[in-house]
Structure 1
Amino acid sequence: MNKMTLALASAASLALTACGGEAEEPMADDTAMADQMANDTAETGTIVEVAQGDSQFSTLVSAVTAAGLGETLSGEGPFTVFAPTNDAFGKIPEATLTELTTNDTETLGNILQYHVVEGNVDAATLTQAITDAGDAGYTINTVGGGTLTANLVDGNVVLTDAAGGASTVTATDVAASNGVIHVIDTVLMPQ
């Protein structure tokens, strides 16, 4: 069993323990994604390099490039990134996504910065902060200046954005040399 699988299993166990719930079997897609990410990150690079090495993040990598944030996210950090998959970006109308990546890169940059937190916040730390915060949820300040609210829902970390949208963390603690990536299933919107 490789280190990534152990890390994911540990994080899931901690999250479920904090909620007092029983462990559920991981979904096949989540297990496959975690295994693929573990293989892709055997030699850990920066957050950008890790994302470039995983085909599930090709839209994110293109968006980071279009917004001119590649150099920043390759910097010293550390950063915690809630990284939307291609399927998460697929929930945005294609015309809107095209507009953001070609003509409105400033707004795109603001959206992407809303997914980044200063520091290296692993799943265990986040889960504990949510538990300590209680029913109101844990407030996360992003580098873009906005806030997210994190709650535990049925043993999963769910992030609520400023627009009221929710995104579930589907994989955690993907290591990078300048931080950590947590995979999410929906793009978060600052407003």
Structure 2
Amino acid sequence: MTISGEPTDADPPVDLSVGGVEDRVAERAAVEAEFSAFYRVDFPRLVGFLILVGAGREDAVDAAQETMRTLHRKWGEVRHPKAWVRTTARRVLIRALGSLREEVFGEPPEPAAALLVGDQDMWESVERDEVLAVLRELPPCQRQALALTFDGFSPAEIAQILDVPATQVRGNLARARHTAVIVLGKRKGERQ
């Protein structure tokens, strides 16, 4: 359009017909339904992932909610939403935690029910509280790699999400598993 508001040849034609409006409304409704379905399934898993990488429940919910709001605005642009939300949520969480200046009195234990509510099959044979305690003892890079593995991502996908080489991810996973075995052994010895 020109400054006067007159259309030019470069402007795309605007379809104001009833059918054109109805098509756009139907298309928008389909996009909203697609996003809503993703949100319902992935939001609890995203919160669980953030808890597994070390966030408290409230911080995890806040970061997941902010991430989902951003995803909603960019829904048509994001090609791999499951990976995108984990990458973005980690960054949101890091920014949020980096801006806090609170006195820390110790972290209250997270309730086991908060972990991966939508993915109970994966956790049936493992005590969730024990897994969370073991994960908290791992260095952040190992904890993130293992949490993403629990969330169903391959080492190559984890490398993309964390923006590190796949060999580094595989190394972190091997060290995380080794450390987890040692920590579980110590915990078992303490209980006997």
Q: TM-score range by the shorter chain?
A: under 0.3
Higher strand share: 1
Higher helix share: 2
- What is the TM-score of this pair, normalised by structure 2? 0.26
Of structures 1 and 2, the one with the larger relative CO (CA 8 A, separation 6+) is: 1
- What is the TM-score of this pair, normalised by structure 1? 0.26
Larger C-alpha radius of gyration, 1 or 2? 2
